[in-house]
Amino acid sequence: MLNKKSVDDINVKGKKVLVRCDFNVPLQDGKITDENRLVAALPTLKKLIADGGKLILCSHLGKPKGEPKPELSLAPVAARLSELLGQEVKFAADDNVVGPNAKAAADAMQDGDVILLQNTRYRAEETKNGEEFSKELASLCDVFVNDAFGTAHRAHCSNVGVTQFVDTAVVGYLMQKEIDFLGNAVNNPERPMVAILGGAKVSSKISVINNLLDKVDTLIIGGGMAYTFMKALGEEVGDSLLEADYLDYAKEMMDKAKEKGVNLLIPVDTVVADDFSNDANIKTVERGGIEAGWQGLDIGPKTRELFADALKDAKTVVWNGPMGCFEMPNFAAGTIAVAEALAEIDATTIIGGGDSAAAVNQLGFGDKMTHISTGGGASLEFLEGKELPGVAAANDK
Ligand code: AMP
């Protein structure tokens, strides 16, 4: 259990509550194309409204790089959030975030009112955790609530700096849920525990592999990162993704798995293509059979079976990274097979954020998983065993 104070431990009646949310949603032509993160924020917001708090919400959106960018304004989020909450969310459109609009709106608030500040990354200090902006944010409120798991792995003004200038800093329900699910899965799992890692690169998941080898019974490696492991075993991988600088590391990890008695599985067959394209020529080859001119873009049918079989008796599964280039339909079968296997088993299934979460949702398996994290980078750093600064900054219980 998370040892941090939460919204259940405070009384916000009549108080101004600054809530750091993760409203970093994808936008297309000013329209929100995936509102999962807004929906995920609602339990905390509804609780604080019901308790009579005056809610001042803040979030970043995209990467405006420290200056106002109209296409990255949070205005569309205020509009949609008003609908989802069934009450007005007043948008305080100050380019400097804590400006005259925000201050006037905050002063005029009644209990249960909600306002939303402009994109915190309009301010260059935000990502540098600068003192001035942190103080300005703190000056708006009596209490601070951090419910933005998606940025918990970063120390910025709006999630870490601000806590130095408020007496009370607690976490929200989403943050609590994320940490409880991920924490239990990794540190207190019901066994057997299986981790599935995929995605493009070994280099971005080095510490995750290393840390998980201390925890799991089985480690499944698919996706682009598998080829570096195959090459480390002396097999040809043709034009597949290969990180030659990480061959020794891959060997080391295979040795570590043996030492720890971890069942490390890599693909036994591969769907290869003669071009990085859905319309390329495609065939399936056995391990060691990837020729020059061909690249592996998905796991093959025997591997799908092998991985599904390894998942059958699992009681806890953590999945981060697709098994192939699932964005192209001809290379999605491996990722679909793993999602199907997870949907069928009687286990706690935790999906890391980012691409894996997108894949599971896009493929229609979202409601079959125990928990889909809202944070890609944050869940990855959690799986690395790191302390997340956004969580550490909240008051201890
Ligand atoms: P990551 O952000 O590291 O989880 O990587 C996700 C990306 O890896 C997705 O966009 C996939 O298309 C890509 N990917 C998965 N398998 C492969 C592969 N075999 N070759 C190239 N890219 C891959």
Ligand 1 contact via 322 beta carbon (within 6 Å):
yes
Of the chain, the percentage scoring pLDDT greater than 70 comes to 100
List the catalytic residue out of 4, 37, 215, 231.
37
Indicate whether this model's pTM tops 0.75: yes
Averaged pLDDT, 304-322? 97
Residue 146, classed as helix, strand or coil, is strand
Give the helix, strand, coil percentages of the chain, each rounded to 5: 40, 20, 40
Ligand 1 contact via 222 beta carbon (within 6 Å):
no
- Side chain identity at residue 69, one-letter code: K
CB atoms within 10 A of CB 317: 28
* pLDDT above 90: residue 135: yes
Residue ranges of alpha helices (H) inside the chain are 36-50, 75-85, 100-107, 131-139, 173-187, 206-213, 226-232, 247-260, 301-311, 333-344, 355-362, 376-383, 389-392
Give helix then strand counts, H and E, for the chain.
Answer: 13, 17
- Side chain identity at residue 224, one-letter code: G
Q: What is the mean pLDDT of the chain?
A: 96
Separation of alpha carbons 227 and 122, rounded Å: 41
Separation of alpha carbons 106 and 349, rounded Å: 41
Is 199 an active-site residue? no
* pLDDT above 70: residue 391: yes
The per-residue pLDDT for 84 is 98
Q: How confident is the model at residue 358 (pLDDT cuts 50, 70, 90)?
A: confident
Q: Name residue, tokens 């201890």.
A: 396
Residue 58, classed as helix, strand or coil, is strand
- Side chain identity at residue 203, one-letter code: S
Averaged pLDDT, 118-139? 98
The per-residue pLDDT for 376 is 87
Torsion of CA 244, 249, 253, 256, to 10 degrees: 150
The per-residue pLDDT for 363 is 85
Gap from CA of 219 to ligand 1 centroid (Å): 18
Ligand 1 contact via 375 beta carbon (within 6 Å):
no
* pLDDT above 70: residue 109: yes
Number of residues written out for the chain: 397
- DSSP tag of 330: G
Averaged pLDDT, 225-243? 97
Averaged pLDDT, 126-138? 98
For residue 128, how many C-alpha atoms fall within 13 Å in the half-sphere facing its CB?
10
The per-residue pLDDT for 234 is 97
Mutate to test the pocket of ligand 1, among 323, 325, 331 (most ligand atoms within 8 A of CB): 325
Separation of alpha carbons 292 and 39, rounded Å: 47
For the annotated binding site, the residues are: 22-24, 37, 60-63, 121, 154, 205, 296, 327, 353-356
Gap from CA of 341 to ligand 1 centroid (Å): 20
The per-residue pLDDT for 356 is 87
The per-residue pLDDT for 361 is 87
Q: How far apart are the first and last CA of the chain?
A: 11
Q: How confident is the model at residue 1 (pLDDT cuts 50, 70, 90)?
A: low
* pLDDT above 70: residue 327: yes
